[in-house]
Amino acid sequence: MIKISPSVLTADFLSLADDIKRLESAGVDMLHLDVMDGIFVPNISFGVPVIKSIRKHSNIPLDVHLMIDRPHRYIKEFAAVSDWLGFHYEAGSDNAELLKEIRELGCKSCITIKPCTQPEEIYDLLELCDMVLVMSVEPGFGGQKFMPDALEKLSKLRDEINRRNLTVEIEVDGGINAETAPMAINAGATVLVAGNYIFSADDMSERVREIKSL
Ligand code: DX5
Ligand code: ZN
């Protein structure tokens, strides 16, 4: 069963509590929270205090996507408010150590690759991951177009994970809609992030059901 993790990046933050309730009743599996520091990516979003408030309003597992430079510096603070916690392979931390630390702190661990990174580069980290995240846009902004190069990366990761009999979710993030979601699923993704496609809709629940039924 495909999991859906709506990204709140393009939401209206003042109506977030209501939107989250609606998403909860629509049966979303996780809530994707994009943390940006203006250094690792050219945009600034939100940090721990906002995630803490979301936690108070919802029981949906929180899927935190750190787009910050040297993420090890803040990992304890984010682990305290996350269920799934992911950071970028390219962000300048010791990746293996950080994945281990995330698990020790009680979260599911996730490593994320940008469009410039090949999946083979993370093969030796797969045992330490509960999820891998393949970016299908350049990280930093919602509402961008899906990059089809991501499909081959998803397939390679799917093959490697199956070949080694590992239990690792494969998440895809960026430009997911009714047209790109089936392609990502066919290539091996098990968790779909969708921001704009859900939050720009008049009926968010309908969009969630549409994607979940694929
Ligand atoms: C981009 C973020 C995404 C973004 C996805 O850097 O990581 O999670 O919010 O938004 P859409 O689905 O609009 O591409
Ligand atoms: Zn994201």
Residue 34 annotated in active site: yes
Residue 173 annotated in active site: yes
Ligand 1 pocket test, candidate residues 13, 137, 138, most atoms within 8 A of CB: 137
CA distance 1 to 142: 25
Q: Residue 103 Cα, ligand 1 centroid: separation in angstroms?
A: 25
Amino acid 202 reads D
Put simply, whether the predicted model's pTM sits higher than 0.85 gets the answer: yes
Question: Would you give per-residue pLDDT tens digits along the chain (214 residues)?
Answer: 899 999 999 899 999 999 999 999 999 999 999 999 999 999 999 999 999 999 998 999 999 999 999 999 999 999 999 999 999 999 999 999 999 999 999 999 999 999 999 999 999 999 999 999 999 999 999 999 999 999 999 999 999 999 999 999 999 999 999 999 999 999 999 999 999 999 999 999 999 999 998 8
* Residue 23, ligand 1, Cβ within 6 A: no
Closest CA to 173 of 211, 135, 200: 135
